[in-house]
Amino acid sequence: MARDKIAFLASETPQATDALIELRRQYDDAGTDEADVIVALGGDGFMLSVLHDTQQLSVPIYGMNQGTVGFLMNSFSTDNLLDRIAAAELSMLHPLSMTATDSTGSRHEAMAINEVSVFRETRQAAKIRISIDGNVRMDELVCDGVLVATPAGSTAYNLSAHGSIIPLDAEILALTPISAFRPRRWRGALLPGTAQVEFEVLEPQKRPVSVVADNQEFRSVIHVKVIEDQSANLRLLFDPEHNLEERILNEQFIP
């Protein structure tokens, strides 16, 4: 498939803005509506925003790091960009679909590429009941929170919460507690990619809980349902020598 028409998008940092100016001097910017590929300049947070904003276009995204970590990005260079894009390998991501109900009965929906997390809102720990595919698996988790992460998101917040790193093609989700108080030794679970995860907030008036799907937050929720949307295909391009599968594998051997 030809990837000759490029659209450039950049975060608002001076570093990314300068990179955008330089790339537009060297290459034509076709605009997102006409592009065969989108080049995103920024960090991982900006890449998530671009994936959210362009999901209806079905256009692959080639990121170049102009941020901090850049786990989802390729290295930055203005040289041979068309050749790099032509040689890039495609990785397909399936986002999470989240539906939440708050204390007023309002319903909220959001997509998450990395994770869906529920958090306590006050000084008191949250109490959460966890069901998988309609079956209660944990009657009461007392914690700061709990999250469901995709393979792509398993090296993000999930890893910081001591969750498992998941290979990109494993079709597995990570269910990981955040500062679990009771049961204290529960470290989470690995679930099939088809699993439907539900969180029921116990004592919501006394122990209010919020939910965050990537960067979208909804407060005072009482019920959250999460499932992987396997009909949604988000396309990322990576240089062959440093593709996403290899990065996730390498992360498991970092001391």
Query: Looking at the annotation, which residues are catalytic?
Result: 44
Stated length of the chain: 255
Residue in the structure block whose two tokens are 């006394």: 206
Rounded to 5, what percent of the chain is helix, strand, coil? 20, 40, 40
Q: Per-residue DSSP letters for 22-40? A: HHHHHS----TTT-SEEEE
- Give the DSSP per-residue string, 124-142: SPEEEEEEETTEEEEEEEE
CA–CA separation, 70 vs 152, rounded Å?
13
Alpha-carbon dihedral angle through residues 30, 32, 34, 39, given to the nearest 10 degrees? 60
Specify the amino acid at residue 196. Answer: Q
- Residue 160, H or E segment: helix 157-160
Measured in degrees and rounded to the nearest 5, phi and psi for residue 134 equal 85, -5
Half-sphere exposure (Cβ direction) of 152: Cα atoms closer than 13 Å: 27
